[in-house]
Structure 1
């Protein structure tokens, strides 16, 4: 397994009309040639309303992690990868962010828009941490726009991936109020606290965006024992191609098509060369709903002949994503 190169491409397709128009005029010759050589290797089905994106579910499965919708323990896995103990406890990511309130929607803006540096993020963490501690939740600094949180409230709790809600209305993506009553209350308290806090007053005076919300994601506990390269497919973890992400989330389909062309000429062409040289490869294409897997596999004579007349092309697959 460790000799197999696996390329995972998130946001490979979208049902958006703009994406469909971009795809109609787009040529991806290396991808089509690669698909013609590979055999199907499973599907990661879902819905556009799933809390976890298809590429997250595919990646979690490849790493040997639980991949139930909304319950992929990314925060605990991140801590484990840092060589820090998780002790079988439930962890979560907590992202400082800004909710932009409109007449009929509440949009979560890109956390990078906040321009938080480490000093500001640590100062904000120190402000909110005591409130969480009162409910048995310990907060730890990780990076400016992402903290780690540990508490029993995250055990078995389904939460939406940050990528699912980014630049969208947050309301359909909130965790179930019955299962996350404590978090809903805490979030309301944080909004009231931050609304008039000197931390935000100082940011506003400098022309910086204020922080008025926190997003919880990546919740859960690692299985025991935790996955390791010797017991799972983690040694062959996919290389995730993030080139399409930003343009797709912004729905900038012209930039997305440009990024796709570069991806086809770069990593996809590299994978094709490996496949043509006889090296086993895997490819996973992910959209908003599903992820489709492909791999090098021996094919019978009939399959090889059939592929000559009906080669597998991306244009025939994209509606399945």
Structure 2
């Protein structure tokens, strides 16, 4: 499969009412033609609930990379370190994203960390403030990006954590790690909120009209399998659909699908028509549906002659 061109599309569909509405007028001619040439790939498809910690495209990407794809246990932080040439040890790592929790009477909403306006200097200053508190619980923090740090510690070895995408702009309480297993994290959340509530770091931000940082989110926890897997094929994963879906901007989502159909999907179709092996995985809130250029059975060809598989029917199943 090493010569296969693999396209993995997150947020290709959604159960959200706004998405269902714009799908009704969505025309994706290249995707229709591509699906007519491909066969379902059951081994690479899966289904779960919308409440799963790992969204379908993360599970699909993990399978493609040879990583464990168990819900909430995909070791993205450890894989990131490996990809950055920082080592492939058997330590447990996690991502820690500084963020703002907006508390109301019946919701605790995680606002988009990208809207915090954190630059490297501010992120490193915040890291220096909170690191000692984490260290007391055996967690070592390392700077990675302004809105994402790396953390190492035994706590992350078997901890199921929800993807940041699952909880973004939603009530965090539905996505918190297991209270018994993550008692330390739950206490740290409380401590960080008390520490940062009156800290000069946030006072200075507020004076400049910037959002305060009052919490963090842990995700991508786990250790890499040993030996570290070598992917046979790395999928291309365009993110415009996902970005629009996270904002629930369904008009932008439909526009992104039109552009995607005319770009990467059309390119994949041309490769398939030229006889090259291709793979396509469409992901939504619940399901990942995979297709590849394998010989189709007589029954499949007979069925497609009368009722070809169409994108409009498929997106509603995601």
- Normalising by the smaller structure, the TM-score range is over 0.9
After superposition, the C-alpha distances for 1:6-46 in whole angstroms (9 at most, x for unaligned) are 00000011111111110001101101110011000022211
Scaled by the length of structure 2, the TM-score of the pair is 0.97
Structure 1 counterpart SS, 2:41 = strand
5 Å-filtered alignment, 1:215-230, equals 215-228=217-230
Q: Distance in 2 between matches of 1:300 and 1:201?
A: 66
1:243 and 2:240 aligned: yes
Structure 2 counterpart SS, 1:292 = strand
Task: Measure how far apart 1:243 and its partner are.
Answer: 1.2
Q: Distance in 1 between matches of 2:200 and 2:254?
A: 44
- The residue aligned with 2:70 is 68
1:152 and 2:149 aligned: no
Identify the range of structure 1 (116-125 vs 84-93) with the bigger mean alpha-carbon deviation: 84-93
Task: Measure how far apart 1:208 and its partner are.
Answer: 0.7
- Shift in alpha-carbon separation, 1:12–1:110, aligned structure 2, 3 A: same
Task: Measure how far apart 1:235 and its partner are.
Answer: 3.6
1:261 and 2:258 aligned: yes
- Shift in alpha-carbon separation, 1:86–1:151, aligned structure 2, 3 A: farther
Task: Measure how far apart 1:302 and its partner are.
Answer: 4.8
1:38 and 2:38 aligned: yes
Task: Measure how far apart 1:320 and its partner are.
Answer: 2.1
Q: Distance in 2 between matches of 1:126 and 1:227?
A: 34
Task: Measure how far apart 1:273 and its partner are.
Answer: 0.6
Q: Distance in 2 between matches of 1:305 and 1:278?
A: 21
After superposition, the C-alpha distances for 1:126-165 in whole angstroms (9 at most, x for unaligned) are 1100111111111000000000000000111001000000
Scaled by the length of structure 1, the TM-score of the pair is 0.96
Whether contact under 8 Å (2:88, 2:228) holds in the other structure is no
Whether contact under 8 Å (2:12, 2:284) holds in the other structure is yes
Identify the range of structure 1 (81-90 vs 251-260) with the bigger mean alpha-carbon deviation: 81-90
Task: Measure how far apart 1:318 and its partner are.
Answer: 2.0
5 Å-filtered alignment, 1:151-170, equals 151-170=153-172
Instruction: Structure 2 unaligned segments of length 5 or more: list them.
Output: none
Q: Distance in 2 between matches of 1:25 and 1:299?
A: 30
Task: Measure how far apart 1:84 and its partner are.
Answer: 1.4
- The residue aligned with 2:293 is 296
- The residue aligned with 1:18 is 18
Task: Measure how far apart 1:304 and its partner are.
Answer: 2.8
Q: Distance in 2 between matches of 1:299 and 1:178?
A: 49
Whether contact under 8 Å (2:139, 2:152) holds in the other structure is yes
Structure 2 counterpart SS, 1:239 = coil
- The residue aligned with 2:5 is 5
- The residue aligned with 2:191 is 189
Task: Measure how far apart 1:187 and its partner are.
Answer: 1.2
- The residue aligned with 1:231 is none
Of 262, 279, 284, 1:287 maps to 284
Structure 1 counterpart SS, 2:213 = coil
- The residue aligned with 2:200 is 198
1:51 and 2:48 aligned: no
Task: Measure how far apart 1:85 and its partner are.
Answer: 2.1
Whether contact under 8 Å (2:10, 2:284) holds in the other structure is yes
Identify the range of structure 1 (155-164 vs 300-309) with the bigger mean alpha-carbon deviation: 300-309
- The residue aligned with 1:126 is 128
Structure 2 counterpart SS, 1:307 = helix
After superposition, the C-alpha distances for 1:270-297 in whole angstroms (9 at most, x for unaligned) are 1011111111100000000010000001
Segments ≥4 residues shifted beyond 6 Å:
none
Q: Distance in 1 between matches of 2:39 and 2:200?
A: 59
Q: Distance in 2 between matches of 1:210 and 1:300?
A: 58
Task: Measure how far apart 1:87 and its partner are.
Answer: 2.2
Q: Distance in 1 between matches of 2:145 and 2:99?
A: 13
